[in-house]
Amino acid sequence: MTYDIDINGRSRTVAVERGEAGYVVVVDGQRHAVDVTSINGAISLIFEDGRSFEVAVAEQPAGSGNLTVHVNGRAVPAVVGTTRASWAKRGHDGAAAGAGPHRVLAPMPGKVVKVLVKAGDQVTARQGVVVVEAMKMENELRTPKPGTVSEVKVSEGASVEAGAVLVVID
């Protein structure tokens, strides 16, 4: 299957197909052999060169095509379509993916170790807002865009499920 993906205003073409020992992912013409395993609602990707990534994906709002992809705890906004026409049909462009409120979601089940912001705080792009411990690792979750924290929906010590809304940023 081939996808057009817009990540922070940069378009990429990604093809995914089954390989002999996992998957073959082709990004803008460059081939990568990838081993894929699902662990506690997240996806573990191990590339042939030894690089590894923990990935969790949440669509916001459901059915919109706007995604927040958490890669090793870092939130990355993305829009995915099978063709550019599918983006246009849904009214998406590079700017639309970052428009409106953003919800920082738990990429996997875990425990909130620290809340770094409170309602009313101004945040910058890529600023940490919550630290969640999952699979014995602490992950600082960051906002992909600047704005004002409108809601903090968790407190320190709380257990969260994958996809739970932690912080809302306008």
**In this predicted model, what pLDDT tens digit does every residue of 34-71 receive, in sequence order?**
898 887 777 888 888 889 888 888 776 656 667 778 88
Nearest to 34 by CA among 54, 55, 49: 49
Residues spanned by the domain of 83: 2-169
Token pair belonging to 156: 């320190």
CATH code, 69: 2.40.50.100
170: number of Cβ within 10 Å: 11
pTM of the model: 0.52
Tokens of 75: 């939130």
| Digit-coded pLDDT (tens) for 13-36 | 888 888 777 888 888 888 888 898
Rounded CA-CA distance 54/108 in Å is 10
Number of domains in the chain: 1
